[in-house]
Structure 1
Amino acid sequence: MTPLAAAVEAAFAPQGPLARADEHFRPRSGQTAMALAVARTIGQGGVLVAEAGTGVGKTFSYLVPALLSGERLLVSTATKALQDQLHARDLPRLLGALGLPLRSALLKGRASYLCLHRLEHARQGGAAHDPQVLRALALVETWARGTRSGDLAELPGLDERSPVIPLVTSTRENCLGTPCPHWNACHVNQARKEAMAADVVVVNHHLFFADLAVRESGMAELLPTVRVVVFDEAHQLNETGVQFLGLQTGTGALIAYARDVLRTGLEAARGFADWLILSGNLERATRDLRLTAGRHAPGSRLPWPGREPQGVSAVAWQPALDAVAHACHALVSALDGVQEMAPDLARLRVRGAELMERMAGFTRPCGPDAVRWLDIGTQLRFVESPLDIAQTVRSRLLGVGEGTTGEAVAPRRAWIFTSATLGDDAGLRWFTEPCGLEDAEILRVDSPFDYARQSALYVPRGMPHPADPAHSLQVAALAGEAAGRLGGRTLVLTTTLKALHAIGAALQQRLQGAGIEVLVQGQWPKHRLLERFRQGSAAGRAGCVLVASASFWEGVDVPGDALQLVVIDKLPFPPPGDPLVDARSQRLEAAGRSAFRDYALPEATVALKQGAGRLIRHESDRGILVVCDPRLLGMGYGKRLLAALPPMRRLADGGAFDAALEALTRTSTTDCSAP
């Protein structure tokens, strides 16, 4: 046994430092097994892919060996919220327990930090005339006088959707760089300096891949100094990566550019050009371009295999693009003559040139192994995306080819990829194939929970097919009846926004006056919805039902009796007609494989496992999972989906479901204090 392995075993022992530091700590064989596998990977280098079921304690499993190894560590999480939790709670707790004097740092993207230069000019923009924006801006200005980090997550009372945030933060495009008068005091620069000096650095997947794409956040400088890299919640890695490794722009960026030039031109170069006409021409041409796309449902993705997106007039599209290019070129040309007058003008000149180059990229053929589409919303978003991140991971991370700095990556670097859900087969192919990790060591650690005792699965018979318009109303009826008996404590997960709105509205109507509050995603910010839902009926408040979609299928942790029923409306297959889904399916079919068996079904399986994982979060939790999709029992592939779910006991019929609900009303699961 290596010294590191011995130290890891000692840390997790019944009388070890973790047990002494926390009276609720209990040794778990799966947690120790994963920690030893991480220690082995750190010692010999290489790649470990570890699926650790809910309750294993995977965070301690990778942190303990990584911290005890003495190696410099980079941890990447799926979201900024998880990043904050890891840095503010888990790391200090472990460093204290292990007695390690290590320094940790948090590093986020530009949009998370206050920009002192943009704060100075925030009141001059048109949006600052809105009373709501002015109130938020005053809050930021007061906080700015005392903050050390400049991390807006530390500002209480600021909604993450607030329109003031873009006014007081910078982007790669509008940052002035070294000419900025606040360069030395810049919060982004300070965060990067702290990261370079730290023993443990916590980032997020978005920042990691954004930096691989543009090499701007300092990761290219940081990564070569790190020997151990951990990707937590790694199941999101592929979808996050493809967002940044392609090409993107849109009408929103063009309009923002036009308005920034107008404001800065009038401030710093009034009279040197007719900024009002020039910026107005670009904004008008951009709005005309938006009109050429026609009317489509918000969120639609139009495939773009040729010169113009499908469903868009070929006659109108190219002239509209040419008009935008001409108006943008006129603005950049005007900036040519005045860029020496102020750093803001020089940066706008560069920004305009980059914007024109990105727009021009969409007039050229789509790259190989990529897919292009047009996102439809209030604005248009042009997207060209790789189908996966496999080649990038192999060549730029693992050292198969060139490293991130142009030199071979150190061969003994340890890469740890972990999540509660990474696939449904022994090789975890759903994760390893698109991430280029087919040669990695695979470890699967089962959850320690007693699912057969703690939970039950019910698939109601007689439910309409999900394509039937009556399906959502039937789901709402079942969820409403059950939530009424439980006094709330219900999470309804939907696969589409249409179902979200239909089920949410039906439940609000059904439970009105029943002493149960129905929360619907989109009505409040996510953190407020979850905060209220976790409160449940505590302190005399009404019980809660939460109806949600998309991001609520994962990363939502509601232990205890605030959540005892999870209702899933239908099996979460990838959306048909989505350009990225179709391109991935076509690639598999061209290789002689089945797009359904090798892509659609694994995608649905992993998503279903994620949704089901919201129910049982602690050894004392009790609950029922309801999947309102008859295909789970009636189709052959249902067996694969059922096998992937936790081993819950099965409820055969409505009578058994009623009895299980009745049993929940007689029990309480308030003891959720253990780690």
Structure 2
Amino acid sequence: MNIRLTQDVQQVFAPDGSLSRHIKGYSCRVQQQTMATRVSETLQKGDNLVVEAGTGVGKTYAYLVPALLSGKQVIVSTGSKNLQEQLFFKDLPALLNILGIRPKVALLKGRSNYLCQYLMEKQLSGVEVNDGKILDDLLRIDQWASQTVDGDIGSLYAVPENSPAIPLVVSSKESCIGKACDHYEACFTRKARAKALDAKIIVVNHHLFFADRILKETGFAELLPDSDVVIFDEAHLLPDIAVTYFGQQLSIKSLIRLLERFNELYRTQMADSPQIGAMTARCHTQLLHWQGLLFATEERDWRRLIGDKALMEASWALVSELTAYRTMLLGYLGRNEAFDDGVEKIDGLLSKLTVFIQCDNPDSAYSIDYGYQHLTLRISPIKVAKECQSLFSPDVSWIFTSATLQINRDLSLFTKAMGLEKANTSILDSPFDYRRQSLFCVPRHLASVTSQERAARQLVEVAVKAINAAKGRTFMLFTSHRMLNLVAVMLQGRIDYPLLVQGQAGKQTLLKKYRQLGNAVLLGTGAFWEGVDVRGKLLSCVIIDKLPFVSPDDNLYKARADGVQREGKDPFMTLSLPQAVIALNQGVGRLIRDEKDRGVLILCDNRIVNRPYGQAFINSLPPMHRTRDLDSAVHFLQTID
């Protein structure tokens, strides 16, 4: 045990320490020092730690410095690609230079972030793509592929980030043929993972971490090493992400791809077995027909569909057809390695499809996601605490941090959701002077409206006054795409500032344009509520349409609510309210990002002041000066220059 670690870390953060000497304008923050000390002690003792660190604490350096000085192998997991890349390309290089050390560091993303050379070659050599725009994008990707070093799609700028061509050529577990691939040695995914296994600090994201852990639990190949320490930043996202990985999901596209693979093997290597070709074509047709029936309903909750007799007959007919297909394929095992691999995969996919259609677990939600041309089937458990416990090995130090974890100054909701029975906890408030720097306004005379159009008109009247006073420089955050679109139309012609609307371009493109313009108004939903850092007077006003309660029609929420009711508890107080408190805190966190920032938060939902549960929101928000007078908010905005 490195008993000097805490002393060394404290020296780095001291007024005359390494950070102060190397960073211009560095200010020694008590909260940052406290967090760094607690992380150091956790690493020394092998304990677990849960810490909420408010905006401005500097939590990234507070955990990276102890991690780097400990000499241990550390996995740092983030909830967003933005933070993942900031850590690897900005924060880690800066700290390594300041500390004068050179441990190996690696950035590892999930499969779908890397180009697959096998799929790229297959797309260009085949005749499957008839869309001219997609083919043009594929050619651009191929040109980039000849220049890229790591195959990271994040550095691909030649095509739009939502191009339908990208899913056709990124790596996937279903399409991977391993060592049988001609590109195995050059494989970007394999090389990234090999580099990670040899590193001291490995930066990943939560999705990859859980996918890797669950693979290990089932005995498959390890992707990440068994590190000494795991640090989760943006830890508030973990409970919902864990639900995804402890449940089951089936992409219909992966099943279609597998059928296409069998068809290709039949045409190129097994033409003497016409039964394979015939049954593959029949399964492919029936699968597309079944998927089409679901697209016609657009119903997300599978439980609402199981009473549809025609749909269920088609569902079980598909299972029967695929079962007969698998039985037929078993008769050809041993003739071809790629074929044998495909048979193993179709067995797993068929099992998932059957379990989904059966829909017989009352403790899970069964949902359908409608994507581009294909859908995804999901089974989500309503609780994951026990499953998480099985992953948190006692010989590893587990550290969880975020700016938003507590409800009413209590972290137990998070620790219980994650199954953390033994963990030290700490809440470190932001060092910012919120009462001086900010104003929180819930305007008076907001009508309680049931019509979205009337609510939108009311919101626009408030927004126009605030936007003009702020000279643009405003985020409007919405809880629904419908309200966003209504307000976007109504704002046209009402303000003289550039209007940027989510959907016009990718998130990063919109943010870049917002910063460049200097006086823009950005309208966004969930993607812009967190992980966005705009400092200074560029963002002077944040307007939120209403408290972000989850829709009562959300099928995972409904399944969880049923489970809570069976325990004799109130679903609203147990589930809906805590989730909304954390979500609101994330949105509010966009406003004040620096000790020199000033700004106004306007919430157009008077439930926060006239409903008893409103106090839970207020207690969890930063201590901003509060007002009901919109004119006071307008005046405050006019003083920001």
TM value normalised by structure 2:
0.93
Give the drift of 1:68.
Answer: 0.8
1:635: which partner in 2?
Answer: 611
1:423-448 CA-partner distances (Å, limit 9, x unpaired): 22343123111111243111111101
Superposition pairs of residues 188-587 of structure 1, within 5 angstroms: 188-215=189-216, 221=222, 225-270=226-271, 272-273=273-274, 278-293=279-294, 295-296=296-297, 300-302=299-301, 304=302, 309-329=303-323, 331-332=325-326, 335-336=329-330, 343-364=337-358, 366-367=360-361, 369-375=363-369, 379-399=374-394, 410=395, 413-465=396-448, 467-469=450-452, 470-511=454-495, 514=496, 516-537=497-518, 543-587=519-563
Is 1:605 the equivalent of 2:581?
A: yes
The 3-state SS of whatever aligns with 1:566 is strand
For 2:575 and 2:307, locate their aligned partners in 1 and report how far apart those are by CA, in whole Å. 33
Please say if residues 261 and 279 of structure 1, whose CA atoms lie closer than 8 Å, have aligned partners that are also in contact. Answer: yes
After TM superposition, the structure 1 = structure 2 runs for residues 63-74 of structure 1, keeping only pairs within 5 Å, are 63-74=64-75
Tell whether the 8 Å contact from 2:174 to 2:258 is kept in structure 1 after alignment.
Answer: no
Query: 1:59, 1:222 → 2: CA distance?
Result: 25
Counterpart of 1:406 in structure 2 is none
1:218-269 deviations in Å (ceiling 9; x for gaps): 9974666311110000000011111111112254444444444445543444
Contact 1:49 1:443 survives alignment (8 Å) = yes
Q: Distance in 2 between matches of 1:503 and 1:342?
A: 58
Distance in 1, matches of 2:139 and 2:369, equals 35
Unaligned segments of structure 2, at least 5 residues: none
Report if aligned partners of 2:212, 2:222 keep a CA contact under 8 Å in 1: no
Q: Is the 8 A contact 1:477 1:507 kept in 2?
A: no
Task: Give the 3 Å change call, closer, same or farther, for CA 311–342 of structure 1 in structure 2.
Answer: closer
The SS at the match of 1:183 is coil
Is 649-658 or 437-446 further displaced after alignment? 649-658
Alignment partners' CA distance in 1, 2:572 and 2:217: 39
C-alpha displacement of 1:643: 2.0
Percent identity of equivalent pairs: 38
User: 3-state SS of the aligned residue for 2:425?
Assistant: strand
Cα distance in 1 for partners of 2:36, 2:423 equals 17
Aligned residue-pair number: 638
**Secondary structure, in 3 states, of the residue corresponding to 1:238?**
helix
SS of corresponding position for 1:32: helix
Which stretch of the first structure deviates more once superposed, 579-588 or 527-536?
579-588
**Equivalent residue for 1:407?**
none
Q: Which moved more, 1:622-631 or 1:342-351?
A: 342-351
Over residues 150-209 of structure 1, what are the superposed CA-to-partner deviations in whole Å (9 max), with x where a residue is unaligned? 222223334332222222222111100122222222221111111111111111100011
The structure 2 residue matched to 1:623, chosen from 571, 575, 599, is 599
Provide the rounded CA distance (Å) in 1 between the counterparts of 2:192 and 2:286: 39
In structure 1, the partner of 2:38 is 37
> Are 2:142 and 1:159 aligned?
no
1:178 matched to 2:179? The reply is: yes
Query: Which segment is superposed worse, 492-501 or 141-150?
Result: 141-150
Tell me the CA shift for residue 330 of structure 1: 5.4
Q: Which moved more, 1:487-496 or 1:122-131?
A: 122-131
Describe the shift of the 1:623–1:494 C-alpha distance in structure 2 as closer, same or farther (beyond 3 A).
Answer: same
Shift of 1:329: 4.1
Which residue identity does 1:396 align to in structure 2?
A: L
Distance 2:336 2:132 in 1: 30
Distance 1:158 1:430, change over 3 A: farther
User: Is the 2:171–2:189 Cα contact (8 Å) retained in structure 1?
Assistant: no
SS in 2 for 1:415: strand
Q: Deviation of residue 467 (structure 1)?
A: 3.1
Equivalence for 1:671: none
CA contact (8 A) 2:196 2:202 kept: yes
Q: Which amino acid in the other structure matches residue 384 of structure 2?
A: I
Alignment of 1:49-60 (within 5 A): 49-60=50-61
CA distance in 1, matches of 2:115, 2:218: 15
User: 1:295 offset after TM fit, Å?
Assistant: 4.9
The separation in 2 between residues aligned to 1:427 and 1:27, in whole angstroms, is 27
Alpha carbons of structure 1 residues 583 and 566: separation in structure 2 relative to 1, 3 Å: same
Q: Which amino acid aligns with 2:601?
A: L
1:88 match: 89
Distance 1:217 1:63 in 2: 31
Q: Which amino acid aligns with 2:122?
A: H
Task: Please state whether the residue corresponding to 1:418 is helix, strand or coil.
Answer: strand
Moved more, 344-353 or 224-233: 344-353
CA distance in 2, matches of 1:559, 1:498: 29
Residues 572 and 604 of structure 1 are in contact (CA less than 8 Å); yes or no, is this contact kept in structure 2? Answer: yes
* Partner residue in 2 for 1:672: none
TM-superposed CA distance for 1:390, in Å, is 1.1
Q: Secondary structure at the match of 2:548?
A: coil
In the aligned structure 2, how far is the partner of 1:294 from the partner of 1:312?
Answer: 15
Partner of 1:78: 79
State the Cα deviation string for residues 516-571 of structure 1 (Å, max 9, x = none).
2211112211111111112233xxxxx31111111211111111222111111001
> Aligned equivalents of 2:477 and 2:471: distance in 1?
18
Note the C-alpha offset of 1:345. 3.6
Question: C-alpha root-mean-square deviation of aligned residues, in Å?
Answer: 2.6
Q: What amino acid is the match of 1:347?
A: D
Query: For the residues of structure 1 that align with 2:610 and 2:128, how far apart are their CA atoms?
Result: 54
Which residue does 1:404 correspond to in 2?
none
Q: CA distance change for structure 1 residues 596 and 273 in 2, over 3 Å: closer, same or farther?
A: same
**In structure 2, distance between residues paired with 1:569 and 1:481:** 15
- Worse-matched range after superposition: 192-201 or 474-483: 474-483
Contact 1:292–1:317, Cα closer than 8 Å, also in 2: yes
Residue 538 of structure 2 aligns to a residue whose secondary structure is coil
